[in-house]
C-alpha cells in the first residue's frame, strides 16, 4: 500500500471515529508531531513512516509545480502544499 492509499484509509477511518480524529489532531501540539502521527496511523493498522510522508508531500508538490507555468522556477511556493501532514489535518 502506498502513502496516498494509507492516508486515504486513515482519513476515512478518522471521519468515522471521533477519538481517532481527536488523537490525530492533537499531534499538532506534540513535541514530535509527525512521529506521533505516524505512530498512531501504524497502531491503527496503517503503517506510515515519517520519511515516506515527507517524500510523498515533496514529490506531489514537485509534480504539481511541473504541471503549471511550464514547471519554471518562477512558480510561486504555495503555502503548505508540500506538507502532507498539514494537508491531512486540515481536511479533518
- Which pTM was predicted? 0.75
Whole-angstrom CA distances from 87 to 25, 56, 64, 74 are 12, 12, 15, 23
Could you state, in order of their start, the residue ranges of all structural domains in the chain?
3-91
Which backbone phi and psi does 39 adopt, to 5 degrees? -65, -45
% of the chain beyond a pLDDT of 70? 73
As a whole number of angstroms, the distance between CA 36 and CA 5 comes to 19
pLDDT at 43: 97
pLDDT in tens, 34-74: 999 999 999 999 999 999 888 887 777 666 666 665 655 55
Amino acid at each position: 500500500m502506498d502513502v496516498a492509499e494509507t492516508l486515504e484509509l486513515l482519513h476515512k477511518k478518522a471521519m468515522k471515529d471521533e477519538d481517532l480524529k481527536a488523537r490525530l489532531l492533537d499531534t499538532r501540539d506534540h513535541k514530535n508531531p509527525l512521529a506521533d502521527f505516524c505512530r498512531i496511523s501504524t497502531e491503527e493498522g496503517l503503517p506510515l513512516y515519517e520519511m515516506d510522508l515527507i517524500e510523498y508531500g515533496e514529490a506531489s508538490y514537485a509534480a504539481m509545480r511541473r504541471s503549471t507555468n511550464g514547471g519554471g522556477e518562477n512558480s510561486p511556493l504555495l503555502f503548505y502544499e508540500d506538507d502532507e501532514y498539514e494537508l491531512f489535518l486540515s481536511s479533518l
